Chain A
Amino acid sequence: MAGYRTPLGRARGLGAAKHGVGHFIKQRLTGAALVVLMLWAISAAIGLSRADFASTTAWLHSAWNAVPAALLIGTAFLHMSLGMQVIIEDYIQTPLAKISLLALNAFVCWAGAAIGVFSILKVAFGGGAY
Chain B
Amino acid sequence: MSEARANGSGGRPLSPHMQVWRWHITMLGSILHRATGVALYAGALIATGWAASLAAGPDAYQGYCGLLGSPLGKLVLIGLTFSAFYHMANGVRHLFWDSGRGFVPSTANATTAAVIAFGVVATVAVWAYVLLSGAA
Q: Is this pair of chains taken from one and the same complex?
A: yes
A residues bordering B, Cβ < 8 Å? 2, 28, 31-32, 34-35, 38-39, 42, 46, 49-50, 53, 56-57, 60, 69, 73, 76-77, 80, 83-84, 87, 90, 93-95, 108, 112, 115-116, 118-120, 122-123, 126, 130
User: When the two chains form their complex, are residues A28 and B34 in contact, meaning their CB atoms are under 8 A apart?
Assistant: no
A35-B84 Cα distance, complex, nearest whole Å = 10
B98 at the interface (CB under 8 A from A): yes
Please report whether the interface of chain A is mostly helix, strand, loop or mixed according to DSSP: helix
A108-B38 Cα distance, complex, nearest whole Å = 13
User: When the two chains form their complex, are residues B15 and A90 in contact, meaning their CB atoms are under 8 A apart?
Assistant: yes
- A-B pairs under 8 A by CB, number: 89
A122-B94 Cα distance, complex, nearest whole Å = 37
Distance from A70 Cβ to chain B, minimum over Cβ atoms (Å): 10
User: When the two chains form their complex, are residues A116 and B7 in contact, meaning their CB atoms are under 8 A apart?
Assistant: no
B51 at the interface (CB under 8 A from A): yes
B residues bordering A, Cβ < 8 Å? 1, 7-9, 15, 34, 37-38, 40-41, 44-45, 47-48, 51-52, 54-55, 57-58, 61-62, 81, 84, 88, 91-92, 94-95, 98, 126, 129-130, 133-136
